[in-house]
Amino acid sequence: YAGPQPLPQGDSQQAANQAASSSKPYGSALLPGEGEALAQYVQQNLRIPRRGEIGFSSCDIDSFEKSGFVMSGSRHARMNAVRIRKENQIYSAEEVRALALITLEENQQKEQALLQDFREMLTDKLKDG
């Protein structure tokens, strides 16, 4: 596909991301692999590159735009609408993933607190008994 390519990664991180990303739903409007490629930029808090911007860093693109260049993705209203919709799909999926991680951590903390209460109760019973 002609979208952003996945960011280069180390072997262990790449294997972990591939295992995790194979089950992530990013929506049906994205091409195979496009959601994962875009999500890598979102996860690293980087600007998702638009058409014609691939290969340039965010700093380069910002400096080009500030100096008066119009990047190809910002001229066409229809293409811009498709890009925004796809980006929103990625952001929504990543927000759901982040909320699920937060919920999981909260549940683990509650479980640990409950286990600690049970341990304290058992040690108190053993001391009294």
| Cβ proximity of 89 and 27 under 8 Å | yes
10 CB-side CA count, 13 A: 2
- How far apart CA 85 and CA 92 sit, in angstroms, is 10
pLDDT tens, residue by residue, 43-98: 887 777 776 677 777 788 788 888 988 766 556 677 777 777 888 888 888 888 88
Q: How many residues does the chain have?
A: 129
State CA 80 to chain mean position distance. Answer: 21
The contacts of residue 2 (CB under 8 Å, 6+ apart) are: 51
Indicate the range of 59-63, 104-108, 122-126 predicted with least confidence: 59-63
In this predicted structure, the answer to whether residue 125 has a pLDDT above a threshold of 60 is yes
Tokens read off for 7: 């960011």
In this predicted structure, the answer to whether residue 107 has a pLDDT above a threshold of 50 is yes
**What's the 3-state SS for 53-78?**
CCCCCHHHHHHHHHCCCCCHHHCCHH
Tokens read off for 85: 């919709």
